[in-house]
Amino acid sequence: MAKPRVFVTRIIPDEGLAMLRDQVEMQVWQDELPPPRAVMLREARANDGLVTLLTDKIDAELMDANPRLLVVSNHAVGFDNIDIPAATARGLPIGNTPGVLTDTTADFAFTLLMSSARRISEAVDYVRAGKWKTWGPKLLTGPDVHGATLGLIGFGRIGQGMAKRASGFGMRVLYYDVYRREDLEKSMGVTYADLDSLYRESDFISIHTDLNDSTRRMINARAFAQMKRTAIVINTARGPIVDPNALYDALQSGTIGGAALDVTDPEPLPLSSPLYSLPNCLIVPHIAIASVATRAKMSEMAAANLLAGLRGEKLPTCVNPEVYERGVRK
């Protein structure tokens, strides 16, 4: 019997590719940049399954390009690149990679918090520019992390991971989430706060919610206006949750103290963005999950989802399990 045909939209870690090699006829896009739209449509037509990244737009047009496309396996926990209602309506299961990246992302969000508080990138630039002449009593001072208040927007797996790390630093932790987690408040030592109180009381605000219609541009001029003038905002979730123009104004005018962004809107952030001109804005290229081990585990999960979908089995981690009640594509 012919092997199923699969298109992988980028070179993912070998652990995942090795799981697929004997099982499928596989084509892997070799370029560093994502496949152009025309290639995506062509490959959707020609294949039974796709392994995609968050940079690939998977919409109704692409799903309709091939009614025999059996599965889309996203090599990411986030899936805002995919039109999930359209996939569900078409009986197309979508896989993602939750869980394995929780601690790696929380580690990194905490790294950004520490780095912006203690001005690490400014300090590195200062030394490299030959400005280090002596020890200065006021040189590159920043706020303490220990004992400060951390406000978490979103208290799912990664938000909880941040709370665990913060407790080691003796921080007071507030959280806001549409689902209040009273069950965790005592055991994790966290306090629920409405958004306005969280903005007013936090020294650090770290975003851990997904991107949807109610979170898009949620961190806007109104939000910044309520924050402390020393507040530092950390975003490792999705760029469009923060209004970039309002962020620039808030940083530039001293409405808030700083920002650390792993994600931006758009991505990549063009070099013309005024955010790059601000010393109190630390920007890195969407690398929160970039540990070798986590990327390898994600590739294995993506491969496992893909293989299950090709066999007509339930995906181990499925974003839209309701497809199984409605009937999946065959």
Q: Which residues bind ligand DGY (CB under 6 A)?
A: 54, 76-78, 101, 286, 289
Which of 80, 185 has the CB closer to ligand DGY?
80
Tell me which of 75, 208, 238, 329 is the catalytic residue. 238
Long-range Cβ contact pairs of 244-247 (< 8 A, separation 24 or more) = 244/273, 244/275, 246/219, 246/220, 246/221, 247/219, 247/275, 247/281
- Catalytic residue check, 68: no
Which of 78, 142 has the CB closer to ligand DGY?
78
Tell me which of 119, 286, 295, 329 is the catalytic residue. 286
Which of 98, 189 has the CB closer to ligand DGY?
98
Let me know: does 39 contact 62? Beta carbons within 8 Å: no
Cα separation, 255 vs 221, whole angstroms? 10
Smallest gap, in angstroms, from Cβ of residue 206 to ligand DGY? 15
Smallest gap, in angstroms, from Cβ of residue 161 to ligand DGY? 14
Cα separation, 141 vs 28, whole angstroms? 48
Cα separation, 33 vs 31, whole angstroms? 5
Which of 41, 290 has the CB closer to ligand DGY?
290
Smallest gap, in angstroms, from Cβ of residue 242 to ligand DGY? 15
Residue-by-residue DSSP string for 53-100: -TTS-B-HHHHHT-TT--EEEESSS--TTB-HHHHHHTT--EE---ST
Smallest gap, in angstroms, from Cβ of residue 268 to ligand DGY? 13
- Catalytic residue check, 208: no
- Catalytic residue check, 286: yes
Active site residues: 238, 267, 286
